[in-house]
Amino acid sequence: MLTSRRAAFTLVELLVVIGIIAVLAGILFPVFAHARARGRQTHCAANMRQIHTALVAYSEDHGGLLPQATTKCPGGEFGTQWQGQMDIVWWDFVLPYLGSPKILYCPSVRPTLPAYLINSQFSFLEGRAPDDCTDPTSTVLLVEGRVPDGPGYVLYVPIATGSDPQFDGACFRHSGKMNVCFADGHVKLLGPESLVQGSPLWEVEKPLE
């Protein structure tokens, strides 16, 4: 009588298979990581466009003016365990127009505080009218900020200029660049060399040629 014998992999065959899997993993993991990073950057850009829309809606409801960046008044919606409750800032004013607070958080950082800053040339203790902008396509409205994530971090005021000391490498979280939303609503990836102090991108009213 013939008996059937089940074929089995030899040790060499197993090592070859393991080697092939390791090579494929080495090739695919960086591709997947890049795709995830690209997805987070795209999500962040979409957040900024929604915030721009909300800011425009706010201005239409408030005499054509953008919200104050900061009020110096307590009672804001945002805060941290180590810093406590923040003052009322522009995040609070724009929140009812967003539908979800998640839109204020970049998916690439820990959600301790919102990630986005408003150009202080548009809004500080008083908000300006978007119509004051002489060239919306080349004027920064929103940038990504440095998000404190533990005790000892300075709690920034949610405004930004080219000379802001908190405007450092931690802000350029998308492959060395950051999403920047312009006053007309379009979003672009820019590096630190484009956002230096004195750059005309920050000026709401451009000087006449």
Place of tokens 């971090």: 153
Predicted structure pTM score:
0.82
Band of pLDDT at residue 27, cut at 50, 70 and 90 = confident
pLDDT > 90: percent of the chain = 55
Q: Between vectors from CA 138 to CA 51 and to CA 134, what angle results, nearest 5°?
A: 95
Taking only the tens place, the pLDDT of each residue in 110-159 is 889 999 999 999 999 999 999 999 999 999 999 998 888 777 776 777 88
CA–CA distance, 148 with 98 (Å, rounded to integer): 23
Band of pLDDT at residue 24, cut at 50, 70 and 90 = confident
pLDDT value, residue 29:
64
The domains of the chain are located at 12-202
Kind and range of the H or E element at 40? Answer: helix 11-61
Q: How far is CA 35 from CA 55, 108, 151, 177, 196, in A?
A: 30, 13, 32, 16, 29
> Counting beta carbons within 10 angstroms of the beta carbon of residue 189, is it exposed (0 to 12), middle (13 to 18) or buried (19 or more)?
middle
Q: Are strands 84-89 and 178-182 parallel, antiparallel or unpaired?
A: unpaired
Taking only the tens place, the pLDDT of each residue in 47-69 is 999 999 999 999 999 999 999 99
Taking only the tens place, the pLDDT of each residue in 156-165 is 778 888 766 6
Contacts of 149 (CB under 8 A, 6+ apart): 109, 110, 112
